[in-house]
Structure 1
């Protein structure tokens, strides 16, 4: 089979290569999926550049891609609930990374039935951004109807999903984007769109119940300037908070080092009697099934920017890295859409 592989850390042009590989055999608790579509996420480029080596070191050649939609073609032992021919989608676990390939095995705990009203292209763009938004806004922030939430970078993959999910629970959604994307983001359902090229959100906002930080850096600390007393700042790019570090099972020494890096954020949270958490998305088939139901009911809808063939995978990575994508960047692997 063909599979996109990362041959070493570095840049897109020289470190990604389409190679031949053996079709894997599903182990107990796994299924073999014929891939119809995969998607590219910022984390894939981060791994390629070597930015996550301290968390996980790659063994080369390494598989690429974490989102997938396809068809079950073989079932391992001790698998219940899935059969050959089932149409499925998933955000695979880190030990199964490699969705930009013609076949791959997936742990069934990370798997969900593909919504029947979505194409494989559409379904492949959901898992990572969907689970990131769900775990951040619903599970950790506990966003409720009537609450005000600021979602940065509303035109991105996570932002475009988070806006829809927040609206689905009845929240008042504020988002930031560039001039060219203002009307497009309004179409996603945002109640207030701030053009960051013309306006300063720090001057316009206050008393937000939740700030969903997708940018990191100074944006994470500035979130507390617009947060109400008792509010919640949830980040996917900020410093790791002590609670999350402990839940990850990190060593005492590493937790101490991380606590120093997050001390300004934790101090800002205490000053607002609020919460700061950094969310590291986890693959979860049960939660993905809940998201799938929202698509079946047409409460959420997929947002796709570009679709590339498997042979043009490098172009997909480059386009995502350019920062111009509105929604998801998809790679077509099989013939069924």
Structure 2
């Protein structure tokens, strides 16, 4: 994504919402504040701070307010807490991190048509979203959410995989996971990682030099793997869309996708959850449950 578009997306997300939202006026019973885990500076798990009285934004026309029940502790969250994307996000501190959520719709914007108050949903934010999901209330756009299958609880771990595959999505981005992922693919397959080096190189060298360097590294790897393994290689941002989420929902309901839970923590114990992931005390996915 070009630098100017990335900054435009961040600035757009960061803008305050109008206080005269129809959804807010119609749902006065919803608290205007909530508990949230806030990142005030970059560093270890100790920088995560549980705050009370954090403002709940009013909704834009296509936005949905979700009462969170569970959010994942993802590798991206740990990297952002440690300073990944510092060149973009540091001016916007303090931040609420977190990118996915499962919960209940408590308010909808004036233009929302596919979701209604009271429905249970799950979804994920765009990577440039400033207000994340480590909070009692999360704000997502309509196309970032789908209805949750009734057969599942709100809490979600990665599926164990074996064999040879047409595509691999690497959410961790370590050299070891890249090696494993590349070797799982058939010739003609696709490897994608959500942990590309654009953000870290921009942090290290600045946007002017970091992004071109990242582009050169990506091009080199694309050529390398195309000739050595016959596969396509790419970095990508995680982006939720309703079509993809609906497909996940169908697979879950059909029993073709199993998501065993490894470990859950209350929202107030976000530091302990990050420590557990960082020290590899919990090998699987970690979830924050919101009471």
TM-score, length-normalised on structure 2? 0.73
Provide the residue aligned with 1:100 in structure 2.
134
Q: CA deviation at 1:84?
A: 1.0
Separation (CA, whole Å) in 2 of partners of 1:83 and 1:227? 41
Structure 1 counterpart of 2:246, from 262, 265, 289: 289
Contact 2:48 2:271 in 1 (8 A): no
SS in 1 for 2:58: coil
Structure 2, unpaired ranges of 5+: 1-33, 199-206
Residues 290/61 of structure 1: CA separation in 2 closer, same or farther (3 Å cut): same
Which digits, 9 at most, give the CA deviation of each residue in 1:88-130, with x for residues without a partner?
A: 1111223264212111221111001011001112xxx3xxxxx
Q: What is the count of residue pairs matched by the alignment?
A: 247
User: For 1:137-286, what aligned pairs fall within 5 Å after superposition?
Assistant: 157=157, 160-161=158-159, 163=161, 173=163, 214-217=172-175, 220=178, 230-237=188-195, 256-272=212-228, 273-286=230-243
Aligned partner of 1:85 in structure 2 is 118
**Shift in Å, 1:271:** 2.4
Could you say what secondary structure the match of 2:65 adopts? strand
What SS does the corresponding residue of 2:92 show, helix, strand or coil? coil
Cα deviation 1:259-312 (Å, max 9, x = unaligned)? 332354233234245422223221222211110111111111112111111221
2:63, 2:273 → 1: CA distance?
29
Aligned to 1:330: 287
CA distance in 2, matches of 1:73, 1:212: 32
Q: Secondary structure at the match of 2:114?
A: coil
Q: 2 CA distance for matches of 1:104 and 1:228? A: 39
Check whether the contact 1:34–1:72 (CA below 8 A) recurs between aligned residues.
yes
Determine the structure 2 residue equivalent to 1:26. Answer: 59
SS in 2 for 1:112: strand
Q: Is the 8 A contact 2:37 2:48 kept in 1?
A: no
- Mark the CA change 1:294 to 1:258 in structure 2 (over 3 Å): closer, same or farther: same
CA distance 1:256–1:310, shift in 2 (3 Å): closer
* TM-score normalised by L of structure 1: 0.64
Report if aligned partners of 2:98, 2:134 keep a CA contact under 8 Å in 1. yes
Rate the CA distance shift 1:66–1:58 in 2: closer, same or farther, 3 A.
Answer: farther
Query: 2:10 is matched with which residue?
Result: none
SS in 1 for 2:78: helix
Gaps of 5+ in 1: 126-156, 164-171, 175-207, 241-250
Residue equivalent to 2:143:
109
Map of 1:127-146 to 2, 5 A cutoff? none
Output the CA distance in 1 between the equivalents of 2:182 and 2:239: 26
CA distance in 2 between counterparts of 1:332 and 1:225 reads: 35
Q: Alignment RMSD, CA only?
A: 3.0
Deviation at 1:210, TM superposition (A): 5.7
